[in-house]
Amino acid sequence: MKPLTIYTTKLSDAQATALENYLREEDFTFREVPYAKFAGEKNKTNVVFYQSGKLVVQGKGTQEFVEFVLEPQILQEVKLGYETILNPELLAPRIGVDESGKGDFFGPMCVAGVYVNESVIAAWKEAGVRDSKNFSSDRRIAEIADIIRKTPGCVYSVVPIGNEAYNRLYSTMRSVNLVLAWGHARVIENLMGNSANMNPPPVRAISDQFSYDKATVGKALMKLGRGIELVQRHKAEEDIAVAAASILARNEFVTRLAGLSKQYGMVLPKGASAAVDAAAKEFIAKHGVENLAKVAKMHFRTALRAQGLPEPPKTEWRRPTKKSVDN
């Protein structure tokens, strides 16, 4: 097995202080790093502690530093190499589901699901598979997505909901969460229909809890999807299966958005911003309002502003009551 060359963890304030003192005592060379509280380097080991509380150790000396300094002296716990012994669930065969494009005016919504088992997880240990939001480069996401798709034993499904289909679904369901639940259910159904290639069978499907009512996805599940345990939790992307799904979903979204930009001869920006508002108006001027639904999510206020239509008053979000959820 290749030696560890990158390690991340969270530190408390006390642990961070102890680590900084250690680095100074051991004559690490300190340097400035954006958004970091401190950063030191010595003997091919780079240590960076960020303002967010995240610690990143990189370099050829990473494994030795973690095993002989960080864990015994700072964290005061031994986990490296024993994570799966301490938590066997990390190796359980499972499906992770995630989406991309939900908050983007232009482009589709893409939902992906990924099946992992022990061998797949081992293959990804050094590949850098993590939540797509931790990547700043679409090119890097594409590279990791290619690794995921080519990993023996990995089974995946990607469901792109094109803009015209998305707008039809939304006009019927009147809820982004219901559209998203349908996408999650469709992906899980696709994967369960390919269960012959998932060895051993998945014990559960994991997704982010995007709706206040967990039953939203449960109700959308189809015949095969009802046969597997569905786990919804916040920060689900910390699970490697969900992280892999987020990468495939994001790669599909940016690829299709680039295709739409090329098809219509103009840049269709990501997200929802003043630049997106300007692009929406430009699109209408070039291609007519009748074509906007082919590239955009029409329930966004951006669509109204682009057409010069009045926006409805904003309503304050309130946590649903038990009665409203039951209904």
Please report, for the domain that includes residue 134, its CATH number: 3.30.420.10
Does 121 reside within a domain? yes
In a domain, 324, yes or no: no
Kindly state whether residues 209 and 236 are assigned to the same domain.
yes
- CA–centroid distance for 315 within its chain: 29
Domain membership of residue 19 as a residue range: 6-81
Does 105 share its domain with 65? no
The whole-number pLDDT of residue 72 equals 82
Higher pLDDT pick, 19 / 68:
19
| pTM of this structure | 0.72
**Which H or E element spans position 149?**
helix 138-150
Q: Which of 197, 224, 256 is the last residue of a domain?
A: 256
List pLDDT tens digits, range 118-129.
899 888 876 778
Number of separate domains in the chain? 2
The pLDDT score that the predictor gives to residue 63 is: 84
Are both 140 and 237 inside the same structural domain?
yes
Whether 272 maps to a domain, the answer reads no
Cα separation of 321 and 309, whole Å?
33
- 259-309 pLDDT, tens digit each: 999 999 999 999 999 999 999 999 999 999 999 999 999 999 999 999 999
Is 289 among the domain residues? no
Q: Let me know if residue 252 belongs to a domain.
A: yes
**Residues 113 and 182 both lie in one domain:** yes
Q: What is the pLDDT of residue 79?
A: 60
**DSSP for 198-222, written as a single string:** SSSPPSEEEEE--SSSTHHHHHH--
pLDDT, tens only, 212-268: 788 889 899 999 999 999 999 888 888 899 999 999 999 999 999 999 999 999 999
**pLDDT at residue 89, as a whole number:** 61
Identify the domain boundary among 205, 239, 256. Answer: 256
Asked whether residue 300 is assigned to any structural domain, the reply reads no
Pairwise pLDDT comparison (257 vs 316), residue with the higher score? 257
Q: What's residue 221's pLDDT?
A: 93
Pair (122, 207) in one structural domain: yes
Q: Identify the domain boundary among 256, 291, 313.
A: 256
| Range with lowest mean pLDDT among 98-102, 188-192, 230-234 | 230-234
**Average pLDDT of span 123-138:** 79
Going by the DSSP 8-state scheme, the letter that residue 224 receives in this structure is T
What's the rounded mean pLDDT across residues 168-185? 96
Which CATH number fits the domain that encloses residue 56? 3.30.310.10
pLDDT computed for residue 2 by the predictor: 55
Q: What is the DSSP string of 236-274?
A: GGGSHHHHHHHHHHHHHHHHHHHHHHHHHTS---SSSSH
* pLDDT reported for residue 236: 86
Span 9-32, average pLDDT: 94
Reply yes or no: is the peptide bond before residue 320 cis, omega within 30 of 0. no
Same domain, yes or no: 56 and 186 = no
- Judgement on whether residues 40 and 183 belong to the same structural domain of the protein: no
- Least reliable range by pLDDT among 99-103, 155-159, 226-230: 226-230
Concatenated DSSP letters for 110-128?
EEEEEEE-HHHHHHTTTTT
Confidence class for position 1, pLDDT limits 50, 70, 90: very low
pLDDT(62) > 60: yes
Q: Are residues 108 and 148 in the same domain?
A: yes
Q: Is the domain of 104 the same as that of 196?
A: yes
Structure confidence at residue 317 (pLDDT): 60
Does residue 318 surpass a pLDDT of 90? no
pLDDT at 113: 98
Q: Are residues 179 and 44 in the same domain?
A: no
Is residue 302 in a domain?
Answer: no
SS3 of 55, please? Answer: strand
The answer to whether residues 64 and 18 belong to one domain is yes
% of the chain at pLDDT higher than 70: 91
- Confidence band of 21 (pLDDT split at 50, 70, 90): very high
Q: Do 53 and 144 have their domain in common?
A: no
The answer for residues whose C-beta is within 8 angstroms of residue 193's C-beta and 6 or more apart is 224
- Cα R_g (the chain), whole angstroms: 23
Cβ count within 10 A of residue 96: 28
> Whole-angstrom Cα distance, residue 60 to residue 54?
20
Residue 297 is assigned to a structural domain of this protein? no
In the prediction, which pLDDT does 281 show? 97
